[in-house]
Structure 1
Amino acid sequence: MSIVLVIFGLVIFNKIAVRELPDIDPSIVTVRTLYKGASAEIVDSQITQKIEDIVGGTPGLATIDSKSEDGRSVVRMEFEPGVSVDEATNDIRDRVSRIIDFLPDNAGRPEIFKTSEGSTITIWLRLRSQNLSDLDLSDYASRYLKDYFASVDGVGQIILAGEKEISLRIWINPSALSARDLTVADIENALLKENVEFPSGRLESKRIDLTLKVDKSYKNVEDFRNLPLKKARDGSLVKLKDVAKVEFGPLNMRTMFKGNGYPVVGIGIYQQSNANTIAVADGVKKKLIEVKKNLPEGAQLDVAFDRSNYIRVAVNEVYVTLFISVALVVGVIYLFLGNFSSVIIPTLAIPVSLISTFLLIYAANFSLNLFTLMALVIAIGLVVDDAIVMLENIYRRVETGETPLVASYKGASQVSFAIIATTVVLIAVFVPLVFVKGIVG
């Protein structure tokens, strides 16, 4: 039986999630909505308050925090402990979908994210190049790298820091605009009306059918520069380049991400709430090796920060402490009994008990973290206590002249009830903690 427990315990050991601390964080759902060009007051009245009103009655909701900024609304909801983050996300998504038609027309669709209170980025990747511009690096990271690393098992959200999202920037000359009797609204309307595609029916024949469309979309900067705005009095066309400077540039010029003092694009990878931190980091690094083979010439991608390194060191230190504890216990037993054969039983009892515990840890959906490993270290004393009491009583009877078989039977009979009683007392002390609701400690 002991051999079976050890085998299954070792198999299950590799399937247990490894974390720094236990997963006791409450479920948190965040709703983010973009409304470009709107002030914080307008965002608050037309978006944030509407979202707060609709999600306020969600079952299990503990608190709501919101933040309205220029062009962005963020509503953060924390749920009671025990509420599934997946169920909470689905409930919030259903409620938010009811008010989408009541949001401003130019507002973006609300984005819903599920995160935990203590969620931090598991690993940061750094993309840099001496040949490519910031716009090219950001475009490559957004188009290819983001989706590529999202396929790693256990990866949740991926963010890009220092992203220079490519956009068309139009720098209007007020004097030139006024001289031609135009307004900013005229330019906006021209962009909306001209840069479009229209379906134009179908062309059918005996052999082939073709779908027709009128393509009025603009492909490059020069096309936008020649965008017609109006006809002048002399019959000439007033083009966009006559009243504005047109160029491609970053959508947001207020943020920058640097690595070792140089501008780079950071790729921040979050893990899922129930994922193994070390396994996620290893999976990302494995993908990184494949990605490096296909990077553009002159581009470099490496790891800037890996949170799993600290967890590896901390967990390994606890493992070392665990082995030292076992060695000290065995040494103390041998020191007092002075018989090597008597040390065999507690020496075997310790690993069998500890390895078998992995089955219960996995069944209870616990993780291997600093607390569970320290609990195993403390449990060594509890495991060995009973073995020493039993062994010492049997060894004492052997010294009085009884045969090992008789000494084992009589010695076990004498102390069995006492051992059971002490074990039950320990269980009675700790079991009530299991039924305490909320976060204990």
Structure 2
Amino acid sequence: MSDESGRKGWVGPIEWMARNSIAANLMMILLLVGGFWMALQVQKEVFPEFQLDIVEVTVNYPGAAPEEVEKGILLPVEEAVQGIQSIKEMTSTAREDTGTILLELVAGSNQMQALQDIQQAVDRVRTFPEQAEEPRVQLVVPTQDVMELTIYGDVDIWTLRQLGEQVRNRLLSEDAITQAVIDDVPDYMTSVEISQETLRKYDLTLSDVARLIEQSSRDIPAGSMATEEGDILLRLKERKQWADAFEDIVILNADSGGTVTLGDIATVRDGFEEDGFHSRFNGQYSVEIEIFRTGEQSPLEIADAVEKVMAELSVTLPDGVDVRIDSNRAKQFEERMNMLLENGVMAMIIVMVILSLFLEYRLAFWIMMGMTISFVGSVLFLPAMGVSINMISMFGFLMVLGIVVDDAIVVGENIYEYREKGMSFMEAAIKGARDIAGPVTFSILTNIVAFLPLLFIPGTTGKFWWPLGVVVILVLAISLVEALFILPAHLARSGRGSVTVYGRGMHRVQRAFSQGFEAVVNRVYRPLLDMALRFRYFTLSAAFTIMVVSGAYATSDHMGMIMMPEAPADEIEAAVRLPVGTTARQAGELAMAITEDTQRLFEANNLSRNVEGIKTNVRGGQQFIDVELVLRPEEERDMTVNEIIAPASVKVVGT
């Protein structure tokens, strides 16, 4: 009678869901099917993509030394933007031919408004040198590099550059790749050689020829044309890049109507900057091709496309030229994803096995399903929160893996206890979930609050760690819903254990394990607990002493501390910073000397079993020399990274 009157009164959400299994099943199907479908659709990338709060101002000043760049370019720009309130910090860099100012914006400021304010301030500068080019003002957009290929061989740099462009074009022909950039190559240079005799013959000077070349190789604005859809800006594309185009530049117009072109009076050649250092791999010329992810592309799709092209290149590249993969973030992404899947499956199996030894195996199954629903269901909401599948979000899934099962175990065990007391399945499910709903809710909310600050970290750091907090909170929230509303509905109708041979055998295993566990509790744990309670002051003193000693040890110099654990490295890199004003030729000579010294150490210490090669390059406008030891895979090495570094360290004295 009381049961009937209770049904006529208010029915809470837990009881309503327990009695309406269709609603619970629909919710479960929605989370599972929607989550699996969204897992196929959601953006996949190595690291989260976000907009940096940085504006870059770049001004080219050909032929200028760093000191001239600082005085003529950097100082005027710094003065012009000084009063803009949305700028938090300025970082200026002067190099030969170029000045760069990075302007970090205040977190939360309007990026487009700040960009417009900075552009207007720079446009008002009227003191730039005449030789300076137009300033470029743009928001810094982080690139999503996925892989890096190195092409190297015993050929000249011109041939290698052409091969690099062919490989890049082949990569871009794949649907999965839309951005590939050739790096670590000298700039193209078109040289014009004119004899003094020729200049005198035509009454010309080098300045006259240079001025005519400059005037004839500029893009010229040509006004605009009105259309129904708006005005179209017109521009004459006159900029020339190759020797054959320069040869057609008209230098003189003869009275007879004929013309004298640059090709008639000069030798014009395509080539590279002669003073620059050309990157090398194992002493041979090399070029690098960086492959980036754009739009909706997946790192795994890009990796598959690159492997297809690599298989072709192994056949088509000329003798003496080879290609290798230097950096492979797609592999890191795949390894992290495999780790997540393997750990998730292993966790579910462990939960199923252990709970089956203590509780009914059907109850253990639904608790295990609760983990699956929580993880898969959270993926359904990732796009709405601006989160992709990346290294950070997958780290969040791994982190919450050991937390999410607790609430389902507590609820399931409480329902099981009421069953053992003789309640019906429905009553046990409702009362068991209701009794524990408060503590479980506050337990989950406590965990959510612990990760909530990750959503409010300002600046670039906050954007980077945002996916971690979102993933953990989503999984915990869905696990709470599953434990209180879906799990009781399933346990209310799970029925008793089977009376088959398998069911009887399982029951015997559970009874044997339960008896053994109770023996350990009664013979070991209970006596220790009684002793601890009898001598409670000694127990508290011992616990306090252990806490103090542990704290003292942790804060002393005896315990080391590192921000990140050491991980096996793929490369060992050493950088040499050169003084401002170092010429390209000096940087190239020093880089070559460092390469030769490293090669000698490499051979003298027999590092070929552990090191695949040596890469050398000059970066940052002749300010840095990079030397990299490319290591073999960890499983193929018989030396640790520190053992390899010891003989490979090179001390550079002077320039």
Match of 2:633 in 1: none
Cα shift readout 1:208-261 (whole Å, capped 9, x = no counterpart): xxxxxxx9x99659969x988xxxxxxxxxx999x9986443135313122443
1:180-224 Cα shifts (integer Å, max 9, x gaps): 99865355357568999xxxxxxxxxxxxxxxxxx9x99659969
For the residues of structure 1 that align with 2:47 and 2:412, how far apart are their CA atoms? 37
Which residue identity is paired with 1:165?
Y
1:22-33 correspondence to structure 2 within 5 Å: 22=48, 26-33=52-59
Residue 401 of structure 1, aligned match among 402, 422, 430: 422
Distance in 1 between the 2:246 and 2:141 partners? 47
Please say if 1:253 is aligned against 2:275.
Answer: yes
Q: Which residue among 181, 184, 196 is the counterpart of 1:161?
A: 184
In the TM superposition, what are the counterparts of 1:195-214 in structure 2 within 5 Å?
A: none
The answer as to whether partners of 1:325 and 1:377 remain within 8 angstroms in 2 is no
2:210 paired with 1:185: no
Give 1:321's aligned amino acid: N
The answer for the alignment partner of 2:373 in structure 1 is: 352
Which position in structure 2 is the counterpart of 1:78? Answer: 104
Q: Which residue of 2 aligns with 1:392?
A: 413
Distance (Å, rounded) in 1 between the aligned partners of 2:199 and 2:205: 7
RMSD: 5.0
Which structure 1 segments of 5+ residues have no match?
Answer: 197-214, 229-238
Q: 1:357 to 1:189 in 2, by over 3 A?
A: closer
Choose the corresponding residue for 1:50, options 73, 76, 99.
76
Change over 3 Å in CA distance of 1:120–1:259 after alignment to 2: farther
What is the deviation of 1:281? 3.5
1:15 equivalent in alignment to 2:38: no
Higher alpha-carbon deviation: 62-71 or 320-329: 320-329
In the alignment, what sits opposite 1:106? 131
Q: Indicate the residue corresponding to 1:264 in structure 2.
A: 286
Distance of aligned partners of 1:9 and 1:310 in 2 relative to their CA distance in 1, 3 Å threshold: same
**Aligned equivalent of 1:170:** 193
Check conservation: 2:186, 2:276, Cα contact below 8 A: no
Residue correspondences, number? 408
Cα separation, 1, equivalents of 2:59 and 2:174 = 26
Q: Deviations over 1:119-167 (max 9, x none)?
A: 5743223456778x53355467669947984997796784532144141
SS in 2 for 1:107: coil
Question: CA separation in 2, counterparts of 1:41 and 1:51?
Answer: 15
Map of 1:203 onto structure 2: none
TM-score by length of 1: 0.71
More helix by share: 2
Distance 2:443 2:214 in 1: 80
1:246-395 equivalent positions in 2, closer than 5 A: 247-251=269-273, 253-271=275-293, 278=299, 281-282=302-303, 285=306, 288=309, 303-337=325-359, 339-395=360-416
Higher RCO by CA contacts (8 Å cutoff, separation 6 or greater): 1
How far apart are residue 65 of structure 1 and its match?
1.2
Mapped to 1, the partners of 2:176 and 2:404 lie a distance apart of 37
How big is the shift at 1:340?
1.4
**Which residue of structure 2 lines up, in the alignment, with residue 202 of structure 1?**
none
Q: CA deviation at 1:20?
A: 4.9
Structure 2 vs 1, CA of residues 82 and 384 (structure 1 numbering), >3 Å: closer, same or farther? same
Q: Partners in 2 of 1:30 and 1:152 — Cα distance?
A: 32
Partners of 2:131 and 2:171 in 1: CA distance: 31
Contact residue 30 and residue 112 of structure 1 kept, 8 A: yes
Aligned residue in 2 for 1:62: 88
Say whether residues 1:125 and 2:149 are aligned partners. Answer: yes
State the alpha-carbon separation in 2 of the partners of residues 417 and 193 from structure 1.
80
- Equivalence for 1:201: none
Kept after mapping to 1: 8 A contact 2:293/2:299? no
Structure 1 residues 56 and 313: alpha-carbon distance in aligned structure 2, compared to 1, 3 A threshold = farther
Partners of 2:363 and 2:245 lie apart in 1 by 86
- The normalised TM-score by structure 2 is 0.50
Unaligned runs of 5+ in 2: 1-26, 219-237, 253-260, 466-655
CA contact (8 A) 1:221 1:246 kept: no
Instruction: Name the counterpart of 2:507.
Output: none
Q: Using the aligned pairs only, state the percent identity.
A: 20
**Bigger shift: 261-270 or 428-437?**
428-437
- Determine whether 1:134 maps to 2:157: yes
Which residue of structure 2 lines up, in the alignment, with residue 204 of structure 1?
none
